[in-house]
Amino acid sequence: MAQPNIEGFVGERLSLARDARNITQGQIAEALGVVTPTISRWERGERKPGGEQLTKLADALGVHRPYFLKPVADYGDAPIFFRSLASATVKARTKERAKMRWLQHISATLQNELEFPPVDIQAAICPTDYSRLADSDIEQIAADLRKRWRLGEGPINNMVLLAENAGVVVGIDEVGSTTIDGQANWCGADDRPYILLARDKNNAFRRQMDLAHEIAHLTLHRGVTRAQLETDFELIEHQAKYFAGAFLLPPHSFAAEIPSLSLDGFLSLKKRWKVALGAMIMRAEQLGVLSEAGAQRLWKYRAARGWAKREPLDDPKDTPISEPRFLGRCFDLIIEAGRKKRRDLLETDIGLGAADVEMLASLSPGYFGEQQAEIVRLEPKLRASPSNDTTADVIPFKRAT
């Protein structure tokens, strides 16, 4: 006897899961022993799978059955900004778009239990004005954002924490593609910015620049349409790249600290400014501190030393990598307060696989394992914010009481 159809099945959930796994309709059909048009009809909402088919579908895609029964939020029309849109394959971009939606789904589930901090990122310009921005305008916008966030003109120690304190939800994914560094999106469902970083080319200095680059998109390019992104991709990427350098390396303070216009001179600044040699060389040329010929000479010396792919201090053993912490603290708070059990939160409320949630939310592997004890403790109290100093230390967000 045929299994009754599952009421409430959401076909778009199946499409997202397939995209996230890079699996075709035909491959799913073969795994379930049905024909490909059946999968297509499920996704379009014309038919629904039976109970046994739903279980097989969940197993094949590495999710839990409740995942398919949850409505998909209205994420809006804002584009997802990929740094390497021109070179990344359509397949890789499709996968990462789905992972961004999964990150936003996790966030929405947590927001059912918690009040997230307010967003402190505003569009710096009217949406139609991005095409008229000069580098000098971007320089000023970067300086204004530093002033807004009370960062002074010193180095920024932790861009991940800075973004999270500004209300950005930051996630991590193992992309599996060297052409995608990260992505940013303004989510229409909660009017909140999201950044999903690639773990593949992972070092502390790259992460700093990746965060600054994506914040540039959130600041400069809110309101840019998908069509405009396709048409003006090179201009939009130039603006984001320039903003990132200007934001991380303010003109006066950075230039004043350069001891000599040599590789060793810039290398001596790398640990303090948390910026790669290549980015510092480029910034010094932008500021007129380094001539075009001088910059070309340093690029050649850098390549000759074998630093084109990996520079000194890039190894995580030498420079620890800052990981997102906000979503992890959200999970801990919900579980420790006794609002949800780990497995219920994962399997019933979110519905994704444990490994996916642990990766996207930067949770420790095995976080949802049954062997982990449930620990309940008292709520922490807010501490007074320390005063600013010459470096831009970032204060972790504390949940309002």
Amino acid code (one letter) for 316: P
Tally helices (H) and strands (E) across the chain.
17, 4
- Note whether 317 and 180 are same-domain residues: yes
**Among 6-10, 81-85, 110-114, 163-167, which is the least confidently predicted range?**
81-85
Reported as a pLDDT band with limits 50, 70 and 90, residue 3 is low
Across the beta sheet with 81-82, the strand order is 81-82, 182-187, 192-198, 169-173
Rounded-to-integer distance, Cα 341 and Cα 288, Å: 57
- For residue 188, how many other CB atoms are within 10 A of its CB? 14
- Joined together, the tokens standing for residue 101 give 């939606």
DSSP 296-345: HHHHHHHHHTT-SS--TT-STTTSPPP---HHHHHHHHHHHTTSS-HHII
Give the model's confidence band at 1: pLDDT under 50 very low, under 70 low, under 90 confident, else very high. Answer: very low
Contact 20, 95 (CB under 8 A): yes
| 99 in Cβ contact with 177 (< 8 Å) | no
pLDDT mean over 178-194: 87
Give the end of a domain, one of 46, 72, 98. 72
Residues of the domain holding 53: 1-72
Say yes or no: 11 and 133 in one domain: no
pTM of the model: 0.88
Q: Which backbone phi and psi does 250 adopt, to 5 degrees?
A: -60, 145
CB atoms within 10 A of CB 150: 10
Tokens for 81, please give them.
Answer: 């900004």
Question: In this structure, are 255 and 351 located in the same domain?
Answer: yes
**Lowest-pLDDT range of 145-154, 177-186, 255-264:** 177-186
Residues 26 and 88 in one domain: no
Whole-number pLDDT of residue 379: 46
pLDDT at residue 127 in the model: 65
Mean pLDDT of the chain: 88
* CA count, 13 A, side-chain hemisphere, 263: 16
pLDDT tens digits, one per residue of 145-155: 999 999 999 99
How many residues are given for the chain? Answer: 401
Does 19 share its domain with 120?
Answer: no
pLDDT band at 180 (very low <50, low <70, confident <90, very high): low
Sign of the C-alpha dihedral computed for residues 189, 190, 191 and 194 taken in this order: negative
Contact of 395 with 385, CB cutoff 8 Å: yes
Out of 72, 87, 108, a domain closes at 72
376 and 315 in a single domain? The answer is: yes
Strands (E), 19-167: 81-82
**Cα–Cα–Cα angle for 137, 221, 276, rounded to 5 degrees:** 70
When mean pLDDT is compared over 72-86, 189-203, 204-218, the highest value belongs to: 204-218
> In which residue are the tokens 């084109």 written?
308
Do 194 and 129 lie in one domain? The reply is: yes
CA angle 85, 90, 94 (to 5 degrees): 95
Q: Which residues contact 208 (CB under 8 A, 6 or more apart)?
A: 156, 159, 248, 274, 275, 322
The residue among 370 and 88 whose pLDDT is bigger is 88
Identify the domain boundary among 20, 43, 72. 72
Contact 219, 144 (CB under 8 A): no
Q: Does residue 2 sit in the same domain as residue 149?
A: no
DSSP string for residues in 380-393: PPPPPPPPP-SSB-
Lowest mean pLDDT segment, chosen from 121-125, 297-301, 376-380 = 376-380
Residue 85 banded pLDDT, cuts 50, 70, 90: low
d(CA 299, CA 309): 12
Residue 157 is predicted with a pLDDT of 95
Q: What is the CATH number of the domain that holds 52?
A: 1.10.260.40
Residue 196, token pair as written in the block: 């999903």
| Residue tagged 């006794």 (tokens) | 338
Identify whether residues 316 and 232 lie together within a single domain: yes
**pLDDT per position as a tens digit, 334-390:** 999 999 999 999 999 999 999 999 999 999 999 998 444 333 344 444 555 554 445
Contacts of 58 (CB under 8 A, 6+ apart): 64, 65, 67, 68
Q: What are phi and psi of 187, to 5 degrees?
A: -85, 125
In this predicted model, what pLDDT tens digit does every residue of 20-66 receive, in sequence order? Answer: 999 999 999 999 999 999 999 999 999 999 999 999 999 999 999 99
State how far the Cα of 370 lies from the Cα of 366, in Å rounded to an integer: 9
Please check whether residues 64 and 160 belong to one and the same domain.
no
Residue 5 near residue 49, CB atoms below 8 Å: yes
How many separate domains does the chain show? 2
Q: ∠ CA(233), CA(138), CA(300), 5° rounding?
A: 70
84 and 41 within one domain: no
What pLDDT sits at residue 369?
85
Flag the least confident range among 32-36, 83-87, 114-118, 285-289.
Answer: 83-87
Same domain membership, residue 324 and residue 203? yes
Contact between 394 and 165 under an 8 Å Cβ cutoff? The reply is yes
